[in-house]
Structure 1
Amino acid sequence: MMSQDLANLIATAARTTLSRLFEEHPEDFYYCTLITTAEGLPPAPSAWSWQALDRVSAAQPDPEKAKPLLKWSYSESPYWLFGDEAFEPVRRRFAELVDPHSLPTEGEFVREVNHRLAEMEKAMKMLDDEGLFGVGARREGMVVLVEVMPPDEGNTERALRLNSPGPAIETWLDEAGE
């Protein structure tokens, strides 16, 4: 399968998931991400809306203290893994890829993981170009990411490529960037 096919497969899964999320939850989303690991495992979706952040933080003992801690936490979002079943074809395709740990050198491992991250980034860029994340003010208010957990500096590099300069990405850089 060619490289573009992997990006297309990821984009199809993310498009299905995020379109359904936006339709079922017509909220003001400010964060949409694909999460992976430093081993380049298949991506998993997460998102936050301002309304969801208010709901989740309000349920905490100290809502104002909780809000900044929750704001960029992919795993504490009520939309973590929303529609994840759409990623099953992506997981099957990743299972067919070479196991990065089986590669003989660190350099080959890094190249394989970077290739996977690049395909995830291409997928999110395709969706952005289609307007899935909105246009104008709606898009400017949303941070679109491909993140490695635990975080590394590559998250910031990808964030800068996927997002135009503006208040949303500047806030993410100040509060969560590596």
Structure 2
Amino acid sequence: MTSTDDRRDDERNDGAAAVDPDPVLTAAIADATRAAVTRLRAEHPGPFCAYALVTTGEALRPYLTVTPDGPERWDLADSPYAITGDEHFAHGTALYAARGDLADLPAREAQTEYDQRLASMEAVLRTLDAEGLFGTGAAREATLLLVATMPPDESDAGFARRLNPPGPLLDDWLVEAAEGR
């Protein structure tokens, strides 16, 4: 039997943050994501291929990008839903500002804060996935969940591997969008 600590060590070796998600950030991002996805689906029937919580290399407040299924399904920046439901995420701006600008923090503290922000985004997708927000069964298997940074970095592939079941969709993303990382 694998202990929780062993699983965390394994996850960290796959690009995971070495810190736990922040519950306040996680709750705020989850509320925004849930509202944005619900509204998007009410206005556009889909089908959607990827749901990505995206942040900058400075780990500013995230935004949601959703891509339709089709030839450009991995193009987060050019998706017609590149920044969807941003009014819901705007409420988090003050929360992020109160945590400080990473550039103003000592290096070790900035890295911990950066890791915690991304870990919180991953926790959001994991929680909402468990709620069934992204579908169940075959519908979920046809959907990819991503935590992404712009510009992309090597951690993106680790998040994708942990958030999604193995299969052709994940494999395609790893080859096409993550360049095999």
Is TM-score (shorter-chain normalized) higher than 0.5? yes
Q: Which residue of 2 aligns with 1:62?
A: none
Partner residue, 2:15: none
SS in 2 for 1:75: coil
Structure number with the higher helix fraction is 1
Q: Which of the residues 63, 82, 93 maps onto 1:44?
A: 63
Deviates more, 1:10-19 or 1:86-95: 86-95
State the shift of 1:108 in Å.
Answer: 2.2
Measure, in 2, the Cα distance between the counterparts of 1:170 and 1:37.
24
2:82 & 2:92 partners in 1: Cα distance? 17
Percent identical across equivalent pairs?
A: 41
3-state SS of the aligned residue for 1:81? strand
> Helix, strand or coil for the counterpart of 2:30?
helix
Q: Give the letter aligned to residue 96 of structure 1.
A: A
Which residue, 74, 84, 106 being the options, matches 1:82? 84
1:134-173 maps to which residues of 2 (within 5 A)?
134-173=135-174
> What secondary structure, in the 3-state scheme, does the structure 2 residue paired with 1:115 have?
helix
Q: Which amino acid aligns with 2:93?
A: R
Q: Mean alpha-carbon deviation: is it higher for 8-17 or for 91-100?
A: 91-100
Whether the 8 Å contact between 1:156 and 1:173 is mirrored in structure 2 is yes
Runs of 4+ in 1 over 6 A off after TM superposition: none
Retained in 1: the 8 A contact 2:145–2:164? yes
Structure 1 residue identity aligned to 2:51: C
1:76 aligned counterpart, secondary structure: coil
Aligned-partner Cα distance in 2 for 1:164–1:76: 25
Letter in 1 for 2:89: F
Question: 2:8 maps to what in 1?
Answer: none
Q: Which runs of 5+ in 1 are unaligned?
A: 54-66
Question: What are the within-5 Å matches in structure 2 for residues 107-126 of structure 1?
Answer: 107-126=108-127
- Determine the structure 2 residue equivalent to 1:131: 132
Q: Report the AA paired with residue 133 of structure 1.
A: F
Residue type matched to 1:35 in 2? Answer: V
AA matched with 2:133: L
Please, what TM-score do these two structures have when normalized by structure 1? 0.85
Total equivalences in the alignment: 159
Structure 2: which 5+ residue stretches go unaligned?
1-20
Report if the CA contact (8 A) 1:10-1:87 is conserved.
yes
- Give CA deviations for 1:70-122 in whole Å, capped at 9, x if unaligned: 331212111111211011121221111122111122x2221110110001111
SS for the counterpart of 1:73 is coil
- 1:3 Cα deviation after fit: 2.1
Contact 1:35 1:43 in 2 (8 A): yes
- Alignment-derived partner of residue 64 in structure 1: none
